[in-house]
Amino acid sequence: MNYIQTEINGVWLIEPRVFSDQRGYFMEAFKEAEFKANVGDVHFVQDNESQSSFGVLRGLHYQKGEYSQAKLVRVIKGKVLDVAVDLRKSSPTFGKYVSVELSDENKRQFFIPRGFAHGFLVLSEEATFTYKVDNAYAPQSEASIRYNDETIGIDWPIAQEQMILSDKDGKAVSFRDAELFE
Protein backbone atom coordinates (compact mmCIF):
# COMPACT_ATOMS: atom_id res chain seq x y z
CA MET A 1 0.00 0.00 0.00
CA ASN A 2 1.02 3.56 -0.62
CA TYR A 3 0.58 5.85 2.42
CA ILE A 4 0.26 9.53 1.51
CA GLN A 5 0.34 12.17 4.26
CA THR A 6 -2.20 14.90 3.42
CA GLU A 7 -1.68 18.60 4.06
CA ILE A 8 -3.16 18.09 7.54
CA ASN A 9 -0.85 16.18 9.87
CA GLY A 10 -2.26 12.82 10.92
CA VAL A 11 -4.76 12.52 8.04
CA TRP A 12 -3.67 9.91 5.51
CA LEU A 13 -4.73 8.84 2.03
CA ILE A 14 -4.00 5.16 1.49
CA GLU A 15 -3.79 3.61 -1.96
CA PRO A 16 -3.86 -0.19 -2.00
CA ARG A 17 -2.01 -2.35 -4.50
CA VAL A 18 -4.68 -3.87 -6.71
CA PHE A 19 -4.03 -7.05 -8.70
CA SER A 20 -6.46 -7.39 -11.61
CA ASP A 21 -6.95 -10.09 -14.22
CA GLN A 22 -9.78 -11.63 -16.25
CA ARG A 23 -11.38 -12.94 -13.03
CA GLY A 24 -11.61 -9.54 -11.34
CA TYR A 25 -9.27 -8.11 -8.73
CA PHE A 26 -7.62 -8.79 -5.36
CA MET A 27 -6.29 -6.29 -2.83
CA GLU A 28 -5.34 -6.15 0.82
CA ALA A 29 -7.70 -3.62 2.39
CA PHE A 30 -6.00 -3.57 5.79
CA LYS A 31 -2.75 -4.97 7.14
CA GLU A 32 -2.22 -4.14 10.81
CA ALA A 33 1.60 -4.24 10.89
CA GLU A 34 1.92 -2.07 7.78
CA PHE A 35 -0.71 0.39 9.04
CA LYS A 36 1.07 0.63 12.41
CA ALA A 37 4.46 1.23 10.74
CA ASN A 38 3.11 4.03 8.53
CA VAL A 39 0.26 5.69 10.42
CA GLY A 40 0.54 4.58 14.03
CA ASP A 41 -0.80 2.14 16.58
CA VAL A 42 -4.58 2.34 16.18
CA HIS A 43 -6.70 -0.49 17.55
CA PHE A 44 -9.91 -0.72 15.54
CA VAL A 45 -12.84 -2.20 17.46
CA GLN A 46 -15.78 -1.99 15.09
CA ASP A 47 -16.61 -1.99 11.36
CA ASN A 48 -19.60 0.01 10.07
CA GLU A 49 -21.30 0.22 6.69
CA SER A 50 -23.88 2.55 5.16
CA GLN A 51 -25.67 2.74 1.83
CA SER A 52 -26.83 6.09 0.47
CA SER A 53 -28.21 7.56 -2.75
CA PHE A 54 -27.00 10.52 -4.83
CA GLY A 55 -26.89 13.79 -2.92
CA VAL A 56 -26.96 12.28 0.56
CA LEU A 57 -24.64 14.23 2.82
CA ARG A 58 -23.72 12.57 6.11
CA GLY A 59 -21.84 14.83 8.49
CA LEU A 60 -20.00 16.63 9.76
CA HIS A 61 -19.95 14.18 12.70
CA TYR A 62 -17.64 13.54 15.62
CA GLN A 63 -17.67 12.17 19.15
CA LYS A 64 -16.42 14.24 22.07
CA GLY A 65 -14.03 13.49 24.91
CA GLU A 66 -13.15 9.94 25.84
CA TYR A 67 -15.51 8.64 23.14
CA SER A 68 -13.63 10.37 20.31
CA GLN A 69 -13.03 8.10 17.30
CA ALA A 70 -10.37 7.58 14.65
CA LYS A 71 -11.77 6.24 11.37
CA LEU A 72 -10.42 4.35 8.38
CA VAL A 73 -12.99 4.83 5.60
CA ARG A 74 -13.50 3.55 2.05
CA VAL A 75 -16.16 3.14 -0.62
CA ILE A 76 -16.91 -0.33 -1.94
CA LYS A 77 -19.60 0.78 -4.39
CA GLY A 78 -20.06 4.19 -6.00
CA LYS A 79 -18.28 7.49 -5.38
CA VAL A 80 -18.20 10.08 -2.57
CA LEU A 81 -16.40 13.24 -1.61
CA ASP A 82 -15.02 12.55 1.85
CA VAL A 83 -14.08 15.40 4.21
CA ALA A 84 -12.12 15.67 7.47
CA VAL A 85 -12.15 18.93 9.50
CA ASP A 86 -9.46 19.60 12.12
CA LEU A 87 -11.14 20.42 15.46
CA ARG A 88 -7.92 20.43 17.54
CA LYS A 89 -7.49 23.95 18.95
CA SER A 90 -3.75 23.39 19.44
CA SER A 91 -3.19 22.34 15.83
CA PRO A 92 -1.65 24.67 13.23
CA THR A 93 -4.39 23.46 10.86
CA PHE A 94 -7.26 24.08 13.32
CA GLY A 95 -10.48 24.75 11.38
CA LYS A 96 -8.99 23.59 8.08
CA TYR A 97 -10.29 20.67 6.09
CA VAL A 98 -9.00 18.12 3.62
CA SER A 99 -11.20 16.34 1.10
CA VAL A 100 -10.65 13.36 -1.18
CA GLU A 101 -12.73 11.46 -3.69
CA LEU A 102 -13.21 7.83 -2.69
CA SER A 103 -14.72 5.33 -5.10
CA ASP A 104 -15.01 1.67 -5.97
CA GLU A 105 -12.78 2.47 -8.94
CA ASN A 106 -9.84 4.16 -7.16
CA LYS A 107 -10.18 1.94 -4.05
CA ARG A 108 -8.52 4.63 -1.93
CA GLN A 109 -8.92 4.74 1.82
CA PHE A 110 -8.86 7.76 4.09
CA PHE A 111 -7.59 7.71 7.67
CA ILE A 112 -9.05 10.36 9.97
CA PRO A 113 -7.55 10.55 13.48
CA ARG A 114 -9.32 11.53 16.68
CA GLY A 115 -10.00 15.25 16.97
CA PHE A 116 -11.66 15.64 13.57
CA ALA A 117 -15.19 16.04 12.28
CA HIS A 118 -16.00 13.78 9.34
CA GLY A 119 -18.55 13.81 6.56
CA PHE A 120 -19.17 12.63 3.03
CA LEU A 121 -21.35 13.51 0.06
CA VAL A 122 -22.54 10.82 -2.38
CA LEU A 123 -21.66 11.71 -5.99
CA SER A 124 -22.84 8.52 -7.72
CA GLU A 125 -26.34 7.09 -8.10
CA GLU A 126 -25.71 5.23 -4.85
CA ALA A 127 -22.73 4.44 -2.66
CA THR A 128 -21.81 1.80 -0.11
CA PHE A 129 -19.47 3.30 2.48
CA THR A 130 -17.57 1.22 5.01
CA TYR A 131 -15.34 2.25 7.88
CA LYS A 132 -13.40 1.01 10.87
CA VAL A 133 -13.47 2.92 14.17
CA ASP A 134 -11.22 2.69 17.21
CA ASN A 135 -13.93 3.43 19.79
CA ALA A 136 -17.54 2.36 20.21
CA TYR A 137 -20.40 4.69 19.31
CA ALA A 138 -21.59 6.71 22.32
CA PRO A 139 -24.81 8.64 21.53
CA GLN A 140 -24.40 10.91 24.57
CA SER A 141 -21.07 12.14 23.14
CA GLU A 142 -21.98 12.62 19.49
CA ALA A 143 -21.90 16.06 17.91
CA SER A 144 -22.33 17.62 14.47
CA ILE A 145 -21.16 20.78 12.76
CA ARG A 146 -23.08 22.32 9.87
CA TYR A 147 -21.88 21.03 6.51
CA ASN A 148 -22.13 24.54 5.03
CA ASP A 149 -20.46 26.44 7.86
CA GLU A 150 -18.91 29.63 6.44
CA THR A 151 -15.90 29.50 8.78
CA ILE A 152 -14.84 26.12 7.37
CA GLY A 153 -15.95 26.85 3.79
CA ILE A 154 -16.09 23.35 2.34
CA ASP A 155 -16.34 23.34 -1.45
CA TRP A 156 -19.08 20.76 -2.04
CA PRO A 157 -19.36 19.78 -5.74
CA ILE A 158 -23.18 19.80 -5.99
CA ALA A 159 -25.80 22.44 -5.22
CA GLN A 160 -27.31 22.57 -1.72
CA GLU A 161 -30.75 22.09 -3.27
CA GLN A 162 -29.65 18.62 -4.44
CA MET A 163 -28.39 17.56 -1.01
CA ILE A 164 -30.32 15.20 1.25
CA LEU A 165 -29.63 15.57 4.98
CA SER A 166 -30.97 13.93 8.10
CA ASP A 167 -32.95 16.13 10.49
CA LYS A 168 -30.04 15.93 12.93
CA ASP A 169 -27.51 17.12 10.33
CA GLY A 170 -29.86 19.89 9.22
CA LYS A 171 -29.90 21.19 12.82
CA ALA A 172 -26.14 20.91 13.44
CA VAL A 173 -24.33 23.77 15.17
CA SER A 174 -21.90 26.23 13.66
CA PHE A 175 -18.15 25.72 13.95
CA ARG A 176 -17.98 28.67 16.37
CA ASP A 177 -20.60 27.07 18.64
CA ALA A 178 -19.16 23.54 18.52
CA GLU A 179 -17.50 21.80 21.44
CA LEU A 180 -13.93 21.34 20.18
CA PHE A 181 -10.79 19.46 21.18
CA GLU A 182 -7.81 20.91 23.07
| Catalytic positions, written as ranges | 61, 131
Closest CA to 12 of 113, 115, 89: 113
Cis ω for the linkage preceding 72 (within 30 of 0):
no
Q: How far is residue 163's CA from residue 165's CA, in Å, rounded to a whole number?
A: 6
* Residues 132, 30 contacting (CB under 8 angstroms): yes
In terms of C-beta density within 10 A (0-12 exposed, 13-18 middle, 19 or more buried), how is residue 124 classed? middle
Q: How far is residue 132's CA from residue 120's CA, in Å, rounded to a whole number?
A: 15
